[in-house]
């Protein structure tokens, strides 16, 4: 399986987070619309998905000057930061500030040799400071004027539905409502990692992503959300971002790990309440069965070093739909091999 780095540039806010399993689902719909897109129909592509996945997509992460802002690993803070020599009061005082460091910033050309490093983790303002020098003078002036200090913000957009008989809002279906969306700063770049089986060409995935970006991704795409354009792409070896002698995986998408493959597992639970798209969204059974996953940023310590010989971990999830029995969910994830210190295992 070859792995590629694909850059996208948001053109609007997003009503649905750009998570790997959702991106995979959108690409599958593109293949369902066009049997020639990926060289085979969607039924053929999914026929052996449980044993030989044709595509694995990561969640999207900020990209700054060829550096990556990944989610901070979901492990206890004392596995990330050194509290030695600190008394209990000092540790409590530090925790609030350290919890705000949501980002693991992997600089261009560097490797995550150890996840225990104070300099590796940034908060929102520190991440924005990494981006700021690469903006032109006018862009910097506008950002200062608007008080922008974060790469991405969560925003609530109010909406009204007008009753055409009264000319006003009202109750029930005419009550005002709001829609949550995530908005990135102007000219922000995000990176998606995609693992492709040898018979799948990267150009076809780029084409699918361009079609998704033009029509809109996720919730409220019909109102203008979820738009993006696709930038450059290149092949990448994710091992080049990780440790020389790894014993664990840092995941890049929500996944369902294999049974009995890991000695330690650290993750934030994520429940996917899936819903069908396209014509199935209007069927009598539009919702899928919920799936509990380990969110991106999970750390799994392997039992056998052979687990790291494969470029992905996880399993395919099937049997989740009463409307379409062949429906699958991406339970796989690409990963960066990392080293978890023996004292923390």
Is residue 132 domain-resident? yes
Which of 207-216, 273-282, 323-332 reaches the highest mean pLDDT? 207-216
Domain count, the chain: 1
Task: Give the pLDDT band (50/70/90) at residue 148.
Answer: low
Tens digit of each residue's pLDDT (9 = 90 or more) over 15-72: 899 999 999 999 999 998 898 898 888 889 998 898 999 999 999 999 988 899 999 9
When comparing pLDDT for 235 and 149, which is higher? 235
Is residue 170 domain-resident? no
- Between CA 271 and CA 269 the distance in angstroms is 7
Domain that holds residue 249: 2-151+181-344
Q: Is residue 193 pLDDT above 80, yes or no?
A: yes
Is residue 171 domain-resident? no
Is residue 156 domain-resident? no
**CB count in 10 Å sphere of residue 5:** 18
When comparing pLDDT for 60 and 170, which is higher? 60
- Between CA 224 and CA 204 the distance in angstroms is 25
**CB count in 10 Å sphere of residue 22:** 23
Tens digit of each residue's pLDDT (9 = 90 or more) over 103-115: 999 998 888 888 8
Is residue 161 domain-resident? no
Is residue 261 domain-resident? yes
pLDDT of residue 344: 41
- Between CA 34 and CA 27 the distance in angstroms is 11
Helix axes 20-33, 202-215, angle to 10 degrees: 100
Task: Give the pLDDT band (50/70/90) at residue 140.
Answer: low
Is residue 58 domain-resident? yes
Is residue 119 domain-resident? yes
Would you say the pTM of this structure is higher than 0.85?
yes
Tens digit of each residue's pLDDT (9 = 90 or more) over 6-27: 999 999 989 899 999 999 999 9
Beta carbons of 231 and 326 less than 8 angstroms apart: no
């Amino acid at each position: 399986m070859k792995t590629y780095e694909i850059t996208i540039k948001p053109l609007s806010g997003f009503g649905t987070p750009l998570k790997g399993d959702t991106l995979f689902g959108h690409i599958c719909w593109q293949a369902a619309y066009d049997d020639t897109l990926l060289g085979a129909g969607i039924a053929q592509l999914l026929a052996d998905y449980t044993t030989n996945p044709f595509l694995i997509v990561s969640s999207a992460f900020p990209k700054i000057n060829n550096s990556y802002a990944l989610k901070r690993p979901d492990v206890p803070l004392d596995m990330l930061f050194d509290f030695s020599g600190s008394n209990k009061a000092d540790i409590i005082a530090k925790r609030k500030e350290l919890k705000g460091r949501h980002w693991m910033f992997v600089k261009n050309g560097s490797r995550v040799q150890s996840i225990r490093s104070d300099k590796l983790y940034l908060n929102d303002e520190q991440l924005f400071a990494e981006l700021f020098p690469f903006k032109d003078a006018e862009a910097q002036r506008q950002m200062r004027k608007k008080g922008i200090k974060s790469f991405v913000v969560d925003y609530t957009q109010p909406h009204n539905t007008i009753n055409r008989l009264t000319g006003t809002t009202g109750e029930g279906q005419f009550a005002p409502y709001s829609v949550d969306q995530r908005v990135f700063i102007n000219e922000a770049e995000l990176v998606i990692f995609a693992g492709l089986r040898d018979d799948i060409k990267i150009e076809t995935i780029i084409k699918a992503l361009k079609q998704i970006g033009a029509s809109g991704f996720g919730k409220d795409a019909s109102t203008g959300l979820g738009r993006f354009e696709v930038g450059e792409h290149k092949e990448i070896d994710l091992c080049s971002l990780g440790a020389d002698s790894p014993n664990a995986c840092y995941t890049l998408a929500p996944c369902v790990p294999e049974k009995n493959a890991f000695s330690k597992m650290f993750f934030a639970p994520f429940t996917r309440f899936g819903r069908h798209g396209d014509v199935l969204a209007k069927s009598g059974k539009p919702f899928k069965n919920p799936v509990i996953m380990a969110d991106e940023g999970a750390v799994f310590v392997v039992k056998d070093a052979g687990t790291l010989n494969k470029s992905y971990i996880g399993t395919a999830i099937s049997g989740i739909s009463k409307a379409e029995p062949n429906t699958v969910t991406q339970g796989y994830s690409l990963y960066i091999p990392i080293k978890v210190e023996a004292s923390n295992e």
